[in-house]
Structure 1
């Protein structure tokens, strides 16, 4: 880590811009943890109450619970029929966990580690094993009535020799899956619990095999990753996650609707391989890395993350006798240890806050990081040892390193080398990342949370901007750094400060003493002991006619009083006004998923595709007359050399609001996300123009840039940013069919300034006493995302 620390040394100032339009995950499943029934350890009542209190504080919506068939199968009778025992010590521990999940509305991934040779099950594709699992799921769903079991995980890490026998491991796993699916169908269990897979460890290519081999059986995809520090600090993990998310979307006909999860997450660097222990869980550094792990999974498009693991005592350490009391050291604490070991470890804080502040059902959106020069990040480059070569497409490097163009060379320090734009959302500053969530509230409206992780050393100043916010909101700010970790009397993370009426659209000034993690949220802690769950936690006794055996009428809702009160953030209209509305256009390629409607259907794997020659156009009819100010275009393999963007109130008389003729001055390029821009780089184009009322939007005179024809994956239309002034189109020269003024030319017409000028944009008399107060500083120049 020394070289990395040297590269990231020094304080920094930057801006984090949340883009409510850029949806990474439409329906988040949550941050959770591995919560297995212990191999042999029995928690005392006091220890169990402590464990439940700590689980409740996280408000986790998702856990993973694994066992083996020998936990509920005693053997075979004289007729060769299985003998089941649902009240073994292991099963009682399982029911205790699931009881709590049921009460709290926690979704559980339930599954089995591997076959059970002691039962004579020596093959992963043994049909007898599938029958045992079928009986287990019947007991789980029908007899005991658990509704919390959402997915079933057939074989933990089937790509490993610790889980499956030698040979074609994927073929073995696939045959076992097919047999299990048949059993579930025959027993009437199909569709009542989903199948998730492939659950492979550090072999992501199994995702591709699963799509082609069992994609029709799976209702969700998952993988495990144990990574090196450099995989996180460089942002490599995010890119790898996104690649498989895209593959699922494009190759599984129903893939876009299926969640993709990280069901075991951990850091392998520093691990004691002989005993499968990770002593770094006792360090604060591990918490920063794991928070970054979760952020990159979300930014890559995964809908859930399971951290490995909850409590050390769940599993015995390898290489020791079970009587030794040596446990796998991977948890948030060790229930059997001394006072120091029983205490919450530092990595609990950021993971608990991620789980608590990014709840199930959230919409995960992008948060881009700008340096103090107003540049934004795109993707990793190819040169430089920690150097920077950040430039606009086709331009040379800028301050901080040397380079002839984006992604080349660079020997400077402090910023990351940026290559082809848009490969993934890499921040300009090395080791700094952000993500945000819009949280739908029961009473209507949204709350929001943002998380920023920084591996940089020293005191760091940042401005957090949410342009689509409209009006003030009360915010809580949490800091998790080695030198500053505010906590309540019981050791749970507490806000460092609260802000009243903060205007996120204009910018909020904050500080972080890095390395560390910063959280900003509209969720305010409720009065009471550290805002934790106060409802009864009494458990039922499995051996004495457990209440859970009564089939509940519905899945219980999470208790209203759960330690947080979500405040409503007023928003401007940030939804895609074109989504799902009628579209028309030039003749498309004649095959499924290529018509103009495919540019506005919201699906990742469809696109409007045209023939090669000639000019083309595509138009979308909005839901009545709407105020619009921005359009995003996500081009695929075929991008245009020029086009006009036009708007109309009646569909007959058109006004040109932008004329893209190859000159960047007429557009705002935002090279960050999948797809190819008109400039030849990857990433959607974000085109901003003065506000105009329109019921129709059209791209006209589109001329293909190459020999591939056109491929437009997404045409999105938005209202103006809340932080932008409503400027009539005529005032900016956008009417009469002429080109609109560029965002640069119209900068004086918009309430949005370059971050480097933020210090001059506020009245000194109104300056807050602390940099952690709501600021009137402007948003990044032109409102560009990265």
Structure 2
């Protein structure tokens, strides 16, 4: 009996040790997934319905409204802006007798979008600029001039783009503008090119040539293909993923950075399959020796439940993601972002910063707002609801993923936890490290991390009903100056996000 008890104790001790060793997750700083990480950020368009006296709503975006956005972004510290616009909203003001576009870069509308560029310039934020599509072909209100350009490969449009970029880069001195996006989601049947790869690729080649001729290629290059990876247009020659593959094959020299969109599926993310799917796509960029980013990242709006919620909101249109009001969206978005970083992506811009930016088809109807934002700057003016201007839950996790993964970081490998719903990513910059973790399961978990390379850490926890924020609604650490170790225990509540960092601002 004594022998049996002794052996049982040995077995239990061995099992305990084995379990402890198995659960210690190593941050493999020598195994780099990607270097020169650009960073995460947001899609932030200027407000075409509300940014000037000429806008359909008038100048509702006052200095106070802009300052509210700036203050919140000051906490977030985004590293990437995607600023998509239209020539005919800003600087294309008409046509001469020969049908050539008349350009004016001194309009109130250009000055409005320059507020975004000024902020990016002051804060070292990489800007991806672009246009939704060929001017006057995107919206019914513009149909009167839809015959002025024949497509994305029209030299008149390409020359207009280059003139605008020359003004922004050489006249205004915006060094923050690094990439240009020709046509939003060109593989879509909603795009101005309707999924025509030949038309789009011809436009890209013409644009690259024109940039070189003007000497602008030293600062700015083309981002593409901007395709929606999981959308296959039956009218297009290639699938969504195929657009990336063919861009690598046919435009490898012309593409400066690969860039894609996904309005992803909850199950794909929660199962961990998002990393595999988009990792396979990232290989096309890697093989071409280029970086890849998400220009837009969000979750599908197409569920019956979401559409019912949008219909019940008198100010929302069908192109809305009502989960932005839900705590769970902050977990899901962080989960997708962590998987994208582990798949080799150099950054991601969330769609979107602010509800007030867009309406359905950008026709300007106040009761058709695209609800996708972290707040609605015009909640009072549009919905008679000042509370709609408040910060929404998912700002918590997304802002931390922007703030604590600086530009220039190396995203490094971690031992997989092997636990359902648990994802981890780590970034290293000089002597500092940030580790982000998600538990997207319904069960609390405990992990041990080897953080012996750090000294002291801050810890943030995003958990429903238990997320610490300050008076502004900005995330606060639940603990600071925590001593790191090679067996650092982390409790992951069910459906939560946790961030540990040695970085301090």
Structure 1 residue 327 displacement after superposition: 1.4
Partner of 2:503: 523
Residue 197 of structure 2 is aligned to residue 139 of structure 1: no
Please list, as runs of the form range in 1=range in 2, the aligned pairs for 1:34-73 lying within 5 A after superposition: 34-42=43-51, 43-70=61-88, 71-73=90-92
Residue 457 of structure 2 is aligned to residue 439 of structure 1: no
Partner of 2:17: none
Asked if 2 retains the 8 angstrom alpha-carbon contact of 1:15 and 1:369, the reply is: no
Secondary structure of the structure 2 residue equivalent to 1:219:
strand
Aligned equivalents of 1:198, 1:321: Cα separation in 2: 26
Residue 375 of structure 2 is aligned to residue 333 of structure 1: yes
Deviations 1:554-613 (A, max 9, x none): xxxxxxxxxx1xxxxxxxxxxxxxxxxxxxxxxxxxxxxxxxxxxxxxxxxxxxxxxxxx
Partner of 1:87: 106
Structure 1 residue 94 displacement after superposition: 0.9
Aligned equivalents of 2:457, 2:393: Cα separation in 1: 24
Asked if 2 retains the 8 angstrom alpha-carbon contact of 1:199 and 1:222, the reply is: yes
Asked if 2 retains the 8 angstrom alpha-carbon contact of 1:463 and 1:508, the reply is: yes
Secondary structure of the structure 2 residue equivalent to 1:160:
coil
Which 10-residue stretch deviates more, 33-42 or 85-94?
Answer: 85-94
Asked if 2 retains the 8 angstrom alpha-carbon contact of 1:39 and 1:316, the reply is: no
For the aligned residue pairs, the C-alpha RMSD in angstroms reads: 2.0
Partner of 2:224: 197
Structure 1 residue 353 displacement after superposition: 0.3
Partner of 1:753: none
Structure 1 residue 160 displacement after superposition: 1.1
> Taking structure 1 as reference, are residues 473 and 466 closer, same or farther at Cα in structure 2, changes over 3 Å only?
closer
Structure 1 residue 79 displacement after superposition: 4.1
Secondary structure of the structure 1 residue equivalent to 2:444:
strand
Structure 1 residue 484 displacement after superposition: 1.5
Aligned equivalents of 1:108, 1:284: Cα separation in 2: 29
Partner of 2:334: 291
Residue 304 of structure 2 is aligned to residue 277 of structure 1: no
Aligned length in residues: 440
Point out the structure with max Rg over C-alpha.
1
Residue 295 of structure 2 is aligned to residue 263 of structure 1: yes
Structure having the higher helix fraction is 2
Residue 333 of structure 2 is aligned to residue 348 of structure 1: no
Residue 449 of structure 2 is aligned to residue 464 of structure 1: yes
Please list, as runs of the form range in 1=range in 2, the aligned pairs for 1:138-157 lying within 5 A after superposition: 138-157=166-185
Structure 1 residue 100 displacement after superposition: 0.7
Aligned equivalents of 1:216, 1:176: Cα separation in 2: 14
Deviations 1:196-252 (A, max 9, x none): 1100012122111101111111111111011110110112221122212223333x2
Q: 1:101 aligns with which of 86, 95, 120?
A: 120
Aligned equivalents of 1:189, 1:456: Cα separation in 2: 48
Q: Relative CO higher for 1 or 2, CA cutoff 8 Å, sep ≥ 6? A: 2
Asked if 1 retains the 8 angstrom alpha-carbon contact of 2:186 and 2:193, the reply is: no
Asked if 1 retains the 8 angstrom alpha-carbon contact of 2:227 and 2:261, the reply is: yes
Structure 1 residue 48 displacement after superposition: 1.2
Q: 2:407 aligns with which of 349, 360, 370?
A: 360
Asked if 1 retains the 8 angstrom alpha-carbon contact of 2:193 and 2:200, the reply is: no
Asked if 2 retains the 8 angstrom alpha-carbon contact of 1:16 and 1:434, the reply is: no
Aligned equivalents of 1:181, 1:47: Cα separation in 2: 37
Q: Please, what TM-score do these two structures have when normalized by structure 2? A: 0.83
Partner of 1:126: 154
> Taking structure 1 as reference, are residues 321 and 63 closer, same or farther at Cα in structure 2, changes over 3 Å only?
closer
Partner of 1:507: 487
Q: 2:268 aligns with which of 231, 235, 254?
A: 231
Unaligned runs of 5+ in 1: 1-12, 371-427, 441-445, 525-563, 565-786
Secondary structure of the structure 1 residue equivalent to 2:192:
coil
Aligned equivalents of 1:105, 1:499: Cα separation in 2: 28
Structure 1 residue 325 displacement after superposition: 4.5
Asked if 1 retains the 8 angstrom alpha-carbon contact of 2:175 and 2:219, the reply is: no
Q: Please, what TM-score do these two structures have when normalized by structure 1? A: 0.54
Structure 1 residue 321 displacement after superposition: 6.2
Asked if 1 retains the 8 angstrom alpha-carbon contact of 2:354 and 2:372, the reply is: yes
Asked if 1 retains the 8 angstrom alpha-carbon contact of 2:100 and 2:156, the reply is: no
Structure 1 residue 309 displacement after superposition: 0.5
Secondary structure of the structure 1 residue equivalent to 2:70:
helix
Structure 1 residue 65 displacement after superposition: 0.4
Unaligned runs of 5+ in 2: 1-21, 52-60, 137-144, 230-239, 311-316, 380-384
Secondary structure of the structure 1 residue equivalent to 2:412:
strand
Asked if 2 retains the 8 angstrom alpha-carbon contact of 1:312 and 1:330, the reply is: yes
Secondary structure of the structure 1 residue equivalent to 2:151:
coil
Structure 1 residue 517 displacement after superposition: 0.4
Partner of 1:454: 439
Secondary structure of the structure 1 residue equivalent to 2:334:
helix
Residue 17 of structure 2 is aligned to residue 29 of structure 1: no
Deviations 1:153-182 (A, max 9, x none): 11110111221344x611111111111122
Asked if 1 retains the 8 angstrom alpha-carbon contact of 2:438 and 2:492, the reply is: no
Partner of 2:250: 213
Aligned equivalents of 1:37, 1:145: Cα separation in 2: 19
Secondary structure of the structure 2 residue equivalent to 1:37:
coil
Asked if 2 retains the 8 angstrom alpha-carbon contact of 1:23 and 1:365, the reply is: yes
Please list, as runs of the form range in 1=range in 2, the aligned pairs for 1:310-709 lying within 5 A after superposition: 310-318=353-361, 322-337=364-379, 338-370=385-417, 428-440=418-430, 446-466=431-451, 469=453, 473-503=455-485, 506-524=486-504, 564=505
Structure 1 residue 448 displacement after superposition: 0.3
Structure 1 residue 44 displacement after superposition: 1.8
Deviations 1:55-114 (A, max 9, x none): 111111111101112121112212444211223343222111101111111110011110
Asked if 1 retains the 8 angstrom alpha-carbon contact of 2:178 and 2:221, the reply is: yes
Partner of 2:94: 75
